[in-house]
Amino acid sequence: MTFWDFCAPFYDFAESKNKKAHRAMLETVRNIVPNDAKVLEIAAGTGSITISIAEKAKSVVCSDISEKMLAKARKKVSKHNITNVSFENFSIFKINKHDSSFDAVIASQVMHLIDEPEKAAFELQRVSKNLVIMPIALTKSLRRFSKLMIKIYMLLGFRPKREFTFTEYKAFMNEIGFKNCEFIFIEGLLPMAVAVWRKTKAK
């Protein structure tokens, strides 16, 4: 069992501890996603972003490597009577879709967890027709209770490959191939950032 399978039952509870920032992130992402867009969400977890954007999207493919996370997402989508969401399980390093298959691609809380972010960046850009949206919690240089929260997650098995301040996240995105991103900072117990990369149209 992976860490993500293990934490699937209480993942939503953990997100609720950072409610203000999480809600602001959902609203930010929802506002960025174009109306009637075909959307792919990679590393979707229990589907909170998928549910948030489904009403304005044409369709959403909700994907995660954890079957237990996807099972939670399926239940939530069914509970909300959402009919334009499908579920698939594939790796961020090998997305089994054609080039430019989606108007928008969302990869939340994942780029800090993987060994080859440049490879993932290429795949996200490849399958996106227009933009890639990448929210992340900023877990570096925290204070007091926020720092304690991260320590508890790590005791449970959370092992990020890297941690960021807002400035460091911007530099990291540029380094792995997401040039000229827009960055949105979100205040919270655990502050968040949303990176928005837009594909340059060939002239």
Residue 79 is assigned to a structural domain of this protein: yes
From 88-92, 174-178, 195-199, the region with the lowest mean pLDDT: 88-92
203 belongs to a structural domain: no
Task: Give the integer Cα–Cα distance in Å for 132 and 168.
Answer: 19
Distances 198 to 49, 69, 72, 123, 182 between C-alpha atoms, Å:
19, 28, 31, 14, 9
- Give the count of domains, the chain: 1
Reply yes or no on whether the pLDDT at 62 is more than 70.
yes
User: Do 192 and 48 touch, CB atoms closer than 8 A?
Assistant: no
Which pLDDT score is estimated for 5? 82
Per DSSP, 9 falls in state G
Q: Is 103 helix (H, G, I), strand (E, B) or coil?
A: strand
More confident residue, 145 or 129: 129
pLDDT of residue 147: 65
Report how far Cα 47 is from the mean position of its chain's Cα atoms. Answer: 10
18, part of any domain: yes
Residue in 67, 31, 25, 69 with CA at minimum distance from that of residue 47: 69
Percent of the chain exceeding pLDDT 90 equals 73
pTM, 2 dp: 0.91
* Among 80-89, 146-155, 167-176, the least confident range: 146-155
Q: 73 is in which domain, residue-wise? A: 3-198
Mean per-residue pLDDT for 53-79?
96
